[in-house]
A = this chain, B = another copy of it.
């Protein structure tokens, strides 16, 4: 059906391997006469030649296919942004991306990946232990892999510096005159230390309070059950306890929590940021559509995907710079209407 190297060879009367070399821009093609090269290129164009990538991969013993392994998408939107980055980096370097759900059977999946002789794999998972079924076989076959949005000590794994993000939020609250800050996080039935980002963010809060509110002995944090976020009574009790403790600046572990809190505040006629300012985490769409617009800490998910992918490719191609091992991307605080300026603080010093 499709036109092959053999067709081009027959059509031009030039040896098949010369044709291959010209089409691949192989250095040795330079030694051919220019008109020979042009003849080949012209024929390829005319007949609409498309190199068969599978055959090429087999001949080359290198597959130019990458695998992106993740769980179901469509609920947490940032997964899409991560995938954008992965696709872009893969394309930029001539790779094709295959996608796979980790769900059903990791054992079967790893076989499928090996079957495609993938050059590398990028994992978007939540806990490092999910890698277990993969590592042995991947390492045995010398296939590099990396995690995105999750650090991977000793290996490739890039995520954002969430702790620094929360610290900067605490700092902003202090500098805009907030008297008492609180941190709200969700209990998702796993210990906070088990999910990396939960851990990091919480840590960032405690460190931030220590640094910017040195007079505070015990940082105020509050945990609630996110599965009851639609339970008005329950949520109202959460709100009450924040107000009772006079928190006037609240940082939430995620935008979703912040929005839930904002909603119950609206219902109780306590518009943010009148009684308290509110800051979420993630820069998600819901932070834009909430009212008032939610301040949030922005993560560059696309870049995360790109850097991980680039590192995996580097490793696959033997250019092991190792630079991305333990990469932490910066985040930035986006202040919007949900944060009030409580007291003008004039900072001293020049500049």
* A48, B137: Cβ atoms closer than 8 Å: yes
CA A137 to CA B52, docked complex, whole Å: 15
A180 at the interface (CB under 8 A from B): no
CB < 8 Å: which of B137, B256, B285, B289 contacts A77? B285
A139 at the interface (CB under 8 A from B): no
CA A80 to CA B65, docked complex, whole Å: 21
CB < 8 Å: which of B50, B80, B291 contacts A79? B80
CB < 8 Å: which of B53, B84, B262 contacts A101? B84
Q: A54 — nearest CB in chain B belongs to which residue?
A: B54
* A293, B101: Cβ atoms closer than 8 Å: no
CA A267 to CA B302, docked complex, whole Å: 34
Q: Which A residues, 76 to 99, have Cβ-Cβ distances below 8 Å to chain B?
A: 77-84, 87-88, 91, 96-99
* A73, B80: Cβ atoms closer than 8 Å: yes
Given A87-B99, A115-B52: A74 and B80 within 8 A (CB)? yes
Q: Which A residues, 273 to 290, have Cβ-Cβ distances below 8 Å to chain B?
A: 285-286, 288-290
Given A73-B83, A77-B80, A141-B1: A266 and B291 within 8 A (CB)? yes
Contacts of A99 in B (CB 8 A): 68, 83, 87, 97-99
Can you list, as one digit per residue, whether each of A120-163 has a CB less than 8 Å from chain B (1) or not (0)?
Answer: 00000000000000000100011000000000000000000000
CA A293 to CA B52, docked complex, whole Å: 52
Task: Give chain A's interface residues, CB within 8 Å of chain B.
Answer: 1-2, 48, 50-55, 57-58, 63, 65, 68, 72-75, 77-84, 87-88, 91, 96-101, 111-112, 114-117, 137, 141-142, 230, 256, 259-260, 262-263, 266-267, 285-286, 288-291, 293, 301-302
CA A97 to CA B113, docked complex, whole Å: 12
CB < 8 Å: which of B84, B256, B263 contacts A74? B84
Contacts of A286 in B (CB 8 A): 285-286, 289
* B267, A50: Cβ atoms closer than 8 Å: no
CA A87 to CA B79, docked complex, whole Å: 15
Main secondary structure of the interface of A (DSSP, over half): helix
* B2, A141: Cβ atoms closer than 8 Å: yes
Given A81-B74, A83-B73: A50 and B114 within 8 A (CB)? yes
Top 10 A-B pairs, shortest CB-CB distance: A73-B80, A74-B81, A74-B80, A263-B291, A54-B54, A50-B114, A77-B77, A53-B115, A259-B289, A50-B115
* A142, B97: Cβ atoms closer than 8 Å: no
- CB A295 to nearest CB in B, in angstroms, measures 14
* A98, B96: Cβ atoms closer than 8 Å: yes
CA A228 to CA B263, docked complex, whole Å: 23
- CB A230 to nearest CB in B, in angstroms, measures 7
Pairs A–B under 8 Å by Cβ, sample size 22: A1-B141, A2-B114, A52-B115, A53-B115, A53-B117, A54-B63, A73-B80, A77-B80, A87-B99, A87-B100, A87-B101, A88-B101, A96-B112, A96-B116, A97-B100, A98-B99, A99-B99, A262-B291, A263-B289, A263-B290, A266-B291, A285-B285
Given contacts A54-B54, A259-B289, 17 further A-B contacts (CB under 8 A): A2-B141, A54-B55, A54-B58, A54-B117, A68-B99, A73-B84, A74-B83, A74-B301, A75-B285, A88-B101, A96-B98, A96-B116, A99-B99, A230-B293, A260-B289, A285-B285, A289-B289
